[in-house]
């Protein structure tokens, strides 16, 4: 398990080219960032993140915004509702992913993972978040 300081440091290093993003505001309004230290393993390094809605062909994901974290080991889908005492976490191992496809519209982007017998789609990703996250996916596309 990573420490909270390590998570903050890794996110801060991702945002070095984005001085307009305030790290304190990001952690305040996206509560999923505050629990990442409980989810990520000691040797995982955060490569990128984005936020959007989630749907699956087999699984029913709870409504609301989800945080997608890409590390050097796997994808993490995380949701931390304010009024609940526990969070939702779905790791996606690289070996389980058959195909990843992306799509960018006028205002929003989407990412779709094809798994064995399942399809997961993250959609309504803000255009700036999507463009920030897309270079992280270049090894998978």
**Per-residue pLDDT at 115:** 93
Residue 12 is classified by DSSP as H
Q: What is the pLDDT of residues 12-25, one digit of tens each?
A: 999 988 888 889 99
Are the C-beta atoms of residues 89 and 97 closer than 8 Å to each other? no
Torsion sign over Cα 63, 36, 107, 92:
negative
> Residue holding tokens 């960032």?
33
Whole-angstrom Cα Rg for the chain:
14
pTM for the structure as a whole? 0.92
Torsion sign over Cα 33, 93, 48, 110:
negative
d(CA 36, CA 118): 25
For the chain, the residue count is 141
**Per-residue pLDDT at 59:** 81
4-137 domain in CATH 3.30.1490.20? no
d(CA 60, CA 80): 16
Has residue 46 got a pLDDT over 90?
yes
Q: What is the pLDDT of residues 56-75, one digit of tens each?
A: 888 888 888 999 999 999 99
Has residue 2 got a pLDDT over 90?
no
Are the C-beta atoms of residues 30 and 50 closer than 8 Å to each other? no
Q: What percent of the chain has pLDDT over 70?
A: 99
């Amino acid at each position: 398990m990573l420490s909270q300081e390590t998570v903050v440091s890794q996110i801060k290093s991702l945002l070095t080219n984005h001085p307009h993003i305030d790290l304190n505001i990001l952690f305040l309004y996206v509560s999923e960032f505050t629990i990442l230290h409980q989810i990520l393993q000691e040797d995982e390094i955060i490569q990128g993140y984005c936020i959007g809605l989630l749907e699956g062909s087999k699984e029913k994901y709870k409504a609301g915004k989800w945080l997608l974290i890409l590390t050097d080991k796997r994808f993490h889908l995380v949701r931390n509702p304010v009024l609940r005492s526990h969070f939702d976490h779905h790791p996606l191992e690289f070996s389980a992913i058959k195909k990843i496809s992306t799509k960018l519209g006028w205002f929003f982007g989407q990412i779709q993972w094809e798994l064995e017998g399942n399809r997961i789609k993250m959609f309504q990703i803000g255009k700036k978040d999507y463009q920030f996250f897309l270079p992280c996916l270049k090894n998978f596309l």
